[in-house]
Amino acid sequence: MYRETNTRSIAKGISWRIVATSTTIVIVYLFFGRLDLAIAAGLIETVLKVALYWAHEKIWQRVRWGKERIEPFNLWFTGLPLSGKSTIADLVYEKLQKYQIPLERIDSKDIRELIPDMGYSREDRNRHMIRLGHLIRTLQKNSISTVASFVSPYRESRKAIREMVKNNIVVYVKADIESCRKRDYKGVYEKALKGELKNFSGVNDIYEEPRHAEIVIDTDKVTPEEAAETIVKHIRRKYIKL
């Protein structure tokens, strides 16, 4: 979360005092008819009350009563390759940033670039998920929420993530193979069908659909923008509570 700096507190105090002091000067002048007395009273009041306001704010910052911590959450987007996971996750990330909560975006492409020798076998993928679970858990210890998008085709690896992190929300981005192939600007589905790519989820490797996803998005029925709005509403209702 964000803390209020001394500079911001002082600026708030000054802006308020401009309004309040102007009111005081007008009232004193109306009662006594002396502009010099009204201005003097206004200046004295300004200096004293700005200092008192700053001290009052600092005291309340130390008081925990009435504060509600936003628990860190993990949005886990899963689905077939080119189902629309990253597109929707990017939109959700952009929308959630408006609420000024500590947030990180994690995508399979970026992580693969960091660990280029990571394989695609079931064992390799499961080990990969464990590493990601540790990363997300570390971020959560620092009150940072995450928006993660990975094919994560196996139930055991998704279960491992759920057990490792807090407030895990599985978003199943559902799309059939033909829809994914139509979005295949890289030609990876064609390569997989020709046998040039091994362990490709949905073609020559299994994709196990989530049984207990908190949110299911059918990209054949809703637009990415509509999907993002649905997911953000869920997060607002359960965690941000605005």
Number of Cβ within a 10 Å radius of residue 116? 6
Contact assessment for residue 174 and residue 216, using Cβ atoms and an 8 Å cutoff: yes
How far apart are alpha carbons 216 and 194 in whole angstroms? Answer: 31
How far apart are alpha carbons 36 and 46 in whole angstroms? Answer: 15
Annotation marks residue 152 as catalytic: yes
Alpha-helical (H) ranges within 68-213 are 85-97, 108-114, 122-141, 155-164, 177-182, 188-193
How far apart are alpha carbons 156 and 169 in whole angstroms? Answer: 16
DSSP 8-state secondary structure symbol assigned to residue 201: B
3-state secondary structure of 235: helix
* 209 class by beta-carbon count within 10 Å (0-12 exposed, 13-18 middle, 19+ buried): middle
Residue of 9, 149, 152, 157 marked active site: 152
Q: Which residues are catalytic?
A: 152
